[in-house]
Amino acid sequence: MKRDKRNVVAALRSLFAISLLIMLLMLSGCADEKTVRFKINSVPKGAHVLYKIEGGESSCRGQWLYLGNTPLQGVRHLIEDEVEAADKITLKVLHHGYYDQVKEWDGVGFWEEIEEGDVLFWTPKLIPNPKEM
């Protein structure tokens, strides 16, 4: 009977140690993840905001990702190594009846702008497109 209890206790200790190791590995995998705050507006308001990462190892590289309509405030969690390895990071603001506005960085330049101001802030003034009016 005592032997069975010892086996159970030993098994529980092993399970706890393995669980702890897995949790530590998961947390270390997120260590280079950074929170990026952004505030994007447009004149006029109501434009659609998209971003794209090209090059590097990003899982969604080359795809346009929709962020929402202006005025837009949000937070994205980005992996620093993936962003720094990117060839180009592009923000695009689109509004019917206006020309698209684009802002681009290389990966290192993107981090420099974020760290300099602690937030990515952009307010493009949209130019009317007479062909779409």
Asked whether the beta carbons of 39 and 90 are under 8 A apart, the reply is no
Same domain, 21 and 46: no
The Cα 124–Cα 10 span in angstroms is 63
Neighbours of 44 (CB within 10 A): 13
Same domain, 60 and 116: yes
The Cα 17–Cα 24 span in angstroms is 11
Tell me, what's the pLDDT at 27? 46
Same domain, 10 and 65: no
pLDDT (tens digit per residue) in 17-62: 565 545 544 544 444 777 889 999 999 999 999 999 898 776 777 8
Same domain, 25 and 63: no
Same domain, 119 and 105: yes
Kind of pairing between the strands at 101-105 and 88-94 = antiparallel
Same domain, 13 and 46: no
Same domain, 18 and 57: no
Tell me, what's the pLDDT at 12? 63
- Which range of residues forms the domain containing residue 95? 32-132
Tell me, what's the pLDDT at 14? 67
Same domain, 16 and 77: no
Number of structural domains in the chain? 2
Same domain, 72 and 119: yes
Residues with Cβ within 8 Å of 78's Cβ and at least 6 positions away in sequence, in order, are: 33, 34, 36
What string of H, E and C letters represents the secondary structure of 62-119?
CCCEEEEECCEEEEEEEEHHHHHCCCEEEEEEECCCECCEEEEECHHHHHHHHHHHCC
The mean pLDDT value for 98-109 works out to 93
Same domain, 59 and 113: yes
| Residue 50's CATH number | 2.60.40
Same domain, 19 and 75: no
Same domain, 17 and 53: no
